[in-house]
Structure 1
Amino acid sequence: MNQSNQLKRRLKLFHVVAIGIAYMSPFAVFDTFGIASDVSSGHVPAAYIVVFLAILFTALSYGKLVKRYPAAGSVYTYTKNILNPYVGILVGWVTFIAYLALPMINALLAEIYLSAALPGVPSWVWVVGLIVIISFLNIFGVKLAASVNLLLVAFQFLVGTVFIYLNVRSITKGPEHFNSLNELFPSNMEFSGLFGAAALLALSFIGFDAITTLSEETVEPKKNIPRAILLVASIGGIFFFTVTYFMQSLFPDVSVLNDIEGASPEIAYIIGGNLFLSIFTAGALFSVFASGLAAQVSASRLLYAMGRDEVLPKRFFGYLHPKHNSPVPNILLIGVLASSALLLDLRGATSLINVGAFTAFSFVNICVIVTYLKTKESRSLLYTLGHLIAPLIGLLFIVYLWSNLDLFSITIGLIWALIGFLYLTLSTNFFKKEPPQIDFDELEVS
């Protein structure tokens, strides 16, 4: 492999964790609380416990695979090498739609927040402005993007901590029906609602997997990327549970609020007045910005890996800036594509994320299972539990999530997959040409 065309190892563990948490967007917990509480009949904290335990099996599968393939392509690389090169390309294509959609969603959310605050400014200004800023930061290198994300994530957690404190104060000083803490698993709980809310909240954990695209830019990736995956998933799970535990204790029944979908801003106003509501809104904007920045980092690395393999035109997609060591053409292309947010709504963009994320989660677990079945040496009980039973449990949960997708999401996914299949058919001369393989030993010495 040409050493001048490699990403350089500049990221330490805390950089990778910051990008992963930013991508996951801690403030997503506030966006989904009202709806999840309604679906689960007031048991959002319990739903987060369920979804965290389920997602953890998939996180462990990512950790296993990144030790084998420390490359920028994530699930595309794993599937290509373990299952089949053509399948890997299709999986990478479908997965990319999630990386592409997240900058769109963040641009749309920025437009919603800022247009409400400054209605006189044309809404397109906020969409284009966000995309231009995050593209500019990403061009100057992944370490700068990671450092900015670290600051933005720290502010989000600070606002979240203040939110929890104000909730606790309201519980202890409020009227009689506020002075008891939420019971996690009451005897009369309806499990259909609990699992329905868990399926909805699974999207809160999208992000821990994106950091696998940074494997080539991380110091000691076989050690630090698996650690970062578990840290991001665990930190997110603890934060989501803690915030919703006290929110649910304060409002066991969200129907008393004026707007269930906008429950969190309303609660922020109730517990802290206009001052805290302003700070809370700033935290939401920082979350949108950080998530968009992290999503563009991940998407550009996935495209770079596919360009380097000549799955996509190498001259464009496999190019790295000689000074900043960043895939500038990919970053600019993603910025342009994300501008299509001007033509989409939140439902459409969210559907793209669902399809891409669930595809990635499914094939990561399948790859671990296939690796286990291909292993010829004797398998211990512990190895079987970790490499067969655990990914099977993870896969079953993802299948359950697939079953909860609406027809619109599935239709969009099938159309996108068909486009990828047609491109693959033509670009490989009807599957007669195989894409080149990556030499992972060379990656290790960079």
Structure 2
Amino acid sequence: MTEDATRLSGRLSLTSVVAFGISYMAPSLVMVIFGVVAATSAGTAPTAFLLATGAMLLTALSYAKMAGYHPAAGSAYSYARRSIGAPVGFLVGWVVLLDYLFLPMVAWLVQSVYLNAQFPAVPVWAWMLINAGLTTLVNVVGLALTDRVNKLLTGVAVFLVVLFAAYCLVHLGHHAPASYTRPLWNADSGLAGVSAAAAVAAYSYLGFDAVTTLSEETRDARRTIPRAVVLVIAVGGLLFAAVAYVMQLVHPGGVFDAPEIVGYTMSVQVGGQTFADWTNLAGIVAGFGSGLAVQLSTSRLLYTMGRDGVLPKRVFGTLNKRTGTPVLCVLATGAMCLLGLDLSLETATSFINFGAFLAFTAVNVCVIVHFVRNRRTLTGARKVLGHAVVPALGACVTLYLMSQLSPTALTIGCCWLAAGLGYLVHLTRGFRRPTPEMAAS
């Protein structure tokens, strides 16, 4: 098979890649989890989001460095293979696979639950099939269409969040808050509460790393992808913090009747029932973009692992000659919706966080390993800070976040990791054969 037949083509611009990252993170998510974050932080949600942004930025800088060194579509999987070794890379890829395989299912399930609430005559399982079918169709047609649709939906999602914030500001014009600093820190807040809230808010940033899976489809990837990773965290984090600040001004403190639906009740408060209903519906439509971006990145990880021979190459390691995309990988990802037809949202989300935080930790370690191996050329205080101190802090943060996961998530993650180790032993015939190497460097 020629290299052209096994390499994705670079078409995406910086704007396109950033749009995919922002869409993946779902801009309206701040409205969904605001109540929980505010309650945990005793009414200092914007501070919690800022702390989470800073914490995740540490890992984003590590992803940016590795994307510059290794502009491959496999993200953490590729970085670990090339920096630490093929067996470790395989296990990282296997764990990330748990995250990436179930993220599309979770995105479709969230979308379907909200659509069912808006249109109860259509059951959740039917909405699941509709959502998964539509995103799969767009991703199968080709990257150009996916890029255009995603930009449109990302624009709609950001507009809706900004419109909601504008209504909040108009409301504040008629109901001036007693204090503009209380949302940042108050007599009830403390470091422990804000840190715990930041750990909750950090889940909003899952997926910023997904833009690195588009490396082979991005123009000038060595320069574009690192910039995109940092921009996604910076833009998304500042948007989350700004909207949370305005929401916290509208509702000071952290006491709510129902923290899970504060975004909707606040929409009613500042804009009325009709505004809230239309905003909710439009937000659901915009959320389609998140599912689109999630499925795109998942299919690219499956393709890279298939191209390497870690997964069956004939199924996962081929590109469609007409579209230049891994169509079978997209279809396999779409089929994951069938597993979510009878799952609750809580059970589904428990599958994904373990893989994400373990991958974040692995990428931070990759930067440190790269520094140790190239320390003769990476000299100077700035190099040591960027290649040793910052990734070490990033690894500590992500390990802390992993420790905050539920026992269910940790159990599922460890069982999946054990299964991957068993598959690696089988693949290498008890480590007597080498782990399949990269198909193209």
Describe how 1:181-196 pairs up with structure 2 within 5 A: 181-183=180-182, 184-186=184-186, 189-196=189-196
Match in the other structure for 1:205: 205
Would the aligned equivalents of 2:59 and 2:391 in 1 still touch at CA under 8 Å?
A: yes
Match in the other structure for 1:346: 345
- The residue type paired with residue 243 of structure 1 is V
SS of aligned partner of 1:72 = coil
Alignment partners' CA distance in 2, 1:390 and 1:264: 35
Q: CA deviation at 1:111?
A: 1.9
Q: CA deviation at 1:226?
A: 0.6
Match in the other structure for 1:6: 7
Alignment partners' CA distance in 1, 2:268 and 2:396: 40
Describe how 1:268-287 pairs up with structure 2 within 5 A: 268-287=267-286
Match in the other structure for 2:57: 56
Identify which range, 278-287 or 324-333, moves more after superposition: 278-287
Match in the other structure for 1:444: none
Alignment partners' CA distance in 1, 2:147 and 2:433: 38
Alignment partners' CA distance in 2, 1:369 and 1:170: 49
Q: CA deviation at 1:288?
A: 2.6
SS of aligned partner of 1:343 = coil
- The residue type paired with residue 218 of structure 2 is T
Structure 2 unpaired stretches of 5+: none
Q: CA deviation at 1:168?
A: 1.2
> Structure 1 residues 315, 249: CA separation in 2 closer, same or farther (over 3 Å shift)?
same
Q: CA deviation at 1:30?
A: 1.2
Alignment partners' CA distance in 1, 2:143 and 2:158: 22
The answer to whether the aligner puts 1:219 opposite 2:219 as a matched pair is yes
Name the % identity: 38
Aligned residue pair count: 437
Match in the other structure for 1:383: 383
Alignment partners' CA distance in 2, 1:108 and 1:283: 17
Alignment partners' CA distance in 2, 1:212 and 1:57: 16
Q: CA deviation at 1:153?
A: 0.9
Would the aligned equivalents of 1:18 and 1:153 in 2 still touch at CA under 8 Å?
A: yes
Task: Give CA deviations for 1:74-120 in whole Å, capped at 9, x if unaligned.
Answer: 10000011112011111111111111222112222222111112212
The answer to whether the aligner puts 1:437 opposite 2:406 as a matched pair is no
SS of aligned partner of 2:259 = coil
Alignment partners' CA distance in 2, 1:4 and 1:102: 28
The answer to whether the aligner puts 1:421 opposite 2:421 as a matched pair is yes
Structure 1 unpaired stretches of 5+: 441-446
Alignment partners' CA distance in 1, 2:92 and 2:204: 22
Alignment partners' CA distance in 1, 2:142 and 2:386: 36
> Structure 1 residues 398, 37: CA separation in 2 closer, same or farther (over 3 Å shift)?
same
- The residue type paired with residue 333 of structure 1 is A
Match in the other structure for 1:366: 365
Alignment partners' CA distance in 2, 1:155 and 1:74: 28
The answer to whether the aligner puts 1:76 opposite 2:96 as a matched pair is no
Describe how 1:30-49 pairs up with structure 2 within 5 A: 30-49=31-50
SS of aligned partner of 1:232 = helix
Match in the other structure for 2:323: 324
Alignment partners' CA distance in 1, 2:282 and 2:396: 35
Identify which range, 131-140 or 370-379, moves more after superposition: 370-379
Match in the other structure for 1:146: 147
Q: CA deviation at 1:29?
A: 0.7
Alignment partners' CA distance in 1, 2:74 and 2:390: 23
The answer to whether the aligner puts 1:134 opposite 2:114 as a matched pair is no
Q: CA deviation at 1:439?
A: 3.7
Q: CA deviation at 1:376?
A: 4.2
- The residue type paired with residue 347 of structure 2 is G
Alignment partners' CA distance in 2, 1:395 and 1:367: 10
- The residue type paired with residue 392 of structure 2 is L
Would the aligned equivalents of 2:102 and 2:336 in 1 still touch at CA under 8 Å?
A: no
The answer to whether the aligner puts 1:167 opposite 2:177 as a matched pair is no
Identify which range, 180-189 or 164-173, moves more after superposition: 180-189
Match in the other structure for 2:30: 29
Match in the other structure for 1:333: 332
TM-score (norm 1): 0.95
Q: CA deviation at 1:421?
A: 1.5
> Structure 1 residues 281, 53: CA separation in 2 closer, same or farther (over 3 Å shift)?
same
Alignment partners' CA distance in 2, 1:313 and 1:120: 41
Alignment partners' CA distance in 1, 2:298 and 2:411: 23
Alignment partners' CA distance in 2, 1:12 and 1:22: 15
Task: Give CA deviations for 1:39-59 in whole Å, capped at 9, x if unaligned.
Answer: 111111000111111111111
Describe how 1:225-236 pairs up with structure 2 within 5 A: 225-236=225-236
Alignment partners' CA distance in 1, 2:250 and 2:90: 48
Alignment partners' CA distance in 1, 2:186 and 2:392: 29
SS of aligned partner of 1:311 = coil
Q: CA deviation at 1:130?
A: 0.3
SS of aligned partner of 2:405 = coil
- The residue type paired with residue 383 of structure 2 is Y
SS of aligned partner of 2:208 = coil
Match in the other structure for 1:443: none
The answer to whether the aligner puts 1:67 opposite 2:90 as a matched pair is no
Alignment partners' CA distance in 2, 1:144 and 1:428: 40
Alignment partners' CA distance in 1, 2:19 and 2:140: 18
Alignment partners' CA distance in 1, 2:118 and 2:374: 58
Alignment partners' CA distance in 2, 1:50 and 1:333: 37
Alignment partners' CA distance in 2, 1:55 and 1:114: 31
SS of aligned partner of 1:209 = helix
The answer to whether the aligner puts 1:266 opposite 2:265 as a matched pair is yes
Alignment partners' CA distance in 2, 1:155 and 1:179: 33
Match in the other structure for 1:409: 409
- The residue type paired with residue 185 of structure 2 is F
- The residue type paired with residue 368 of structure 1 is V
- The residue type paired with residue 367 of structure 2 is V
Would the aligned equivalents of 1:78 and 1:88 in 2 still touch at CA under 8 Å?
A: yes
Would the aligned equivalents of 1:182 and 1:248 in 2 still touch at CA under 8 Å?
A: no
Identify which range, 54-63 or 273-282, moves more after superposition: 273-282
Alignment partners' CA distance in 2, 1:167 and 1:276: 12
Alignment partners' CA distance in 2, 1:136 and 1:188: 50
TM-score (norm 2): 0.96
Q: CA deviation at 1:2?
A: 2.3
Would the aligned equivalents of 1:182 and 1:246 in 2 still touch at CA under 8 Å?
A: no
Alignment partners' CA distance in 1, 2:210 and 2:286: 16
Task: Give CA deviations for 1:128-173 in whole Å, capped at 9, x if unaligned.
Answer: 0000000000011122112111111111111111111111111220
Alignment partners' CA distance in 2, 1:149 and 1:31: 21
Would the aligned equivalents of 2:358 and 2:402 in 1 still touch at CA under 8 Å?
A: no
